[in-house]
Amino acid sequence: MSVRVGSGTAAAAVEAVDLDLRRHRRPGEAIIQALLFACGILSIFTTLGIIFVLAREALLFFQRPEVTVLEFLTGTVWQPQILKFGIFPLLNATILTSVIAMMVALPLGVMIAIYLSEYASPRARGILKPVLEILAGIPTVVYGYFALTLMTPLLRSIFGVDRVEIYNVGSAGLVIGILILPLISSMSEDALHAVPRSLREAAYGLGATRLETAVKIVVPAALSGLAAAFIVGISRAIGETMVVALAAGAGPRNFGSWGEAVGGLNFFNPFKAAETMTGHIVRISGGDLSYDSLDYDSLFAIGLMLFAITFVLNLISRWIVRRFREEVE
């Protein structure tokens, strides 16, 4: 396409300018797009492969005559040596450590996020946020020894040596809360920071204080992001391995019956030793397990249970994010 630009006079005439508006081929962008598409397809097939392996091996476990699905889901004893495969002791310890971790990480993470988003200066935010995220780079085995050598003695000195065992769920849960604190605070701060500035200015114009604006305007507007951070934090706490393997205990806390478990809320005692699902997988897989044995197949049943829990949590997270986003819009 050619365009003649000029003033109409010979002195002011300019030469023609060619504007080519046709689509140009860009091989580099096409290659990048193909690579990104291949990465997405690879991640999907990797996930499908993991699900296939877990389901196949778990099906072999449930097909054995010594195991039933009903006993696996409702039993209160996990002792493969005597053919007892009730998942409740492992599930109980997993949920208990995750609840304790979220009781630590959620309020602290949200308060840190509010400070960084609403109170901290740009310079302070640029310093404090990277320093906080350094915690995410510490190896989890270090957190495990931290729980065993510092948190457990602290709990024993506060609540008594007779009440708090050396290996206990409480110290593991507290340290897991510290471990996931950078994740929750960073995601929460990003959600709060994404709230439009106009909402804050409108609240200030109506006479609201900075705290009132943060609590009554910014936090509700960022509730979908905060909910996503909460669900991701729970998933991270459930999947934590080394901390619980070192500090929580090396054996499941079995109960003779549901009455014994529920009576006096014994299943909710954080000062007793217990073993989570991930801790059990680490302990058993580190031993001399023969391939295709009953103990070997049971690990995949536990892994499938973990996958189901995290999958349900992700579905809940997506529903919560969509629900609150629609309300805000």
- Is 80 exceeded by the pLDDT of residue 266? no
The percentage of residues in the chain with a pLDDT greater than 70, rounded to a whole number, is: 89
Cα 269 from Cα 263, distance rounded (Å) = 11
Distance of CA 214 to the CA centre of its chain: 25
Tell me if 172 sits within 8 A of 216, measured CB to CB.
no
Neighbours of 258 (CB within 10 A): 13
Residue 121, pLDDT above cutoff 80: yes
Which pLDDT score, from 0 to 100, does residue 5 have?
A: 47
pLDDT number for residue 107: 92
- Determine the average pLDDT of the residues in 212-241: 88
Residue 28 confidence (pLDDT): 77
Confidence class of residue 325 from pLDDT cuts 50, 70 and 90? low
**Across-strand partners of 85?**
78
CA distances to 9, 75, 217 from 16, rounded to whole Å, are 15, 85, 57
Q: What is the pLDDT of residue 1?
A: 45
Residue 170 tokens read as 């409480």
pLDDT (tens digit, 9 = 90+) per residue, 202-220?
888 888 888 888 888 898 8
pLDDT digits (tens, 9 = 90+) for 68-78: 888 898 888 99
86: alpha, beta or left? (left if phi > 0; alpha if psi -120 to 50): beta
Spatial distance between the Cα atoms of 263 and 51, rounded to a whole number of angstroms: 37
Find the Cα–Cα–Cα–Cα dihedral 131, 136, 141, 144, rounded to 10°. Answer: 80
- What is the pTM assigned to this prediction? 0.84
More confident site: 23 or 171: 171
CA–CA separation, 224 and 229 (whole Å):
9
Interstrand relation of 78-79 and 84-85 (parallel, antiparallel or unpaired): antiparallel
Mean pLDDT score of the chain, rounded to an integer? 84
pLDDT tens-digit series, residues 9-45 = 544 444 444 555 666 677 778 889 999 999 999 999 9
What is the rounded CA–CA span in Å between residue 216 and residue 193? 15
Beta carbons of 217 and 199 less than 8 angstroms apart: yes
Mark out the alpha helices in 214-293 (DSSP H runs).
219-221, 223-239, 242-247, 258-262, 277-285
3-state secondary structure of 10: coil
Residues ≥6 apart with Cβ < 8 Å to 169: 93, 96, 97, 100, 248, 249, 269, 270, 271, 272, 273, 274
pLDDT for 11 = 46
pLDDT of 65 above 90: no
Q: What is the C-alpha to C-alpha distance for residues 190 and 310, in angstroms, rounded to an integer?
A: 23
Q: Mean pLDDT, to the nearest integer, of 105-132?
A: 87
Give the burial class of 88: count Cβ atoms within 10 A of its Cβ; 0-12 exposed, 13-18 middle, 19 or more buried: buried
pLDDT (average), residues 167-187: 92
Whether the CA torsion 80, 83, 84, 85 is positive or negative: it is positive
User: pLDDT value at position 105?
Assistant: 92
Share of the chain above pLDDT 90, in %: 28
Q: What are the structural domains of the chain?
A: 61-328 (1.10.3720.10)
Most confident of 189-203, 255-269, 309-323: 189-203
Structure tokens given for 204: 């200030």
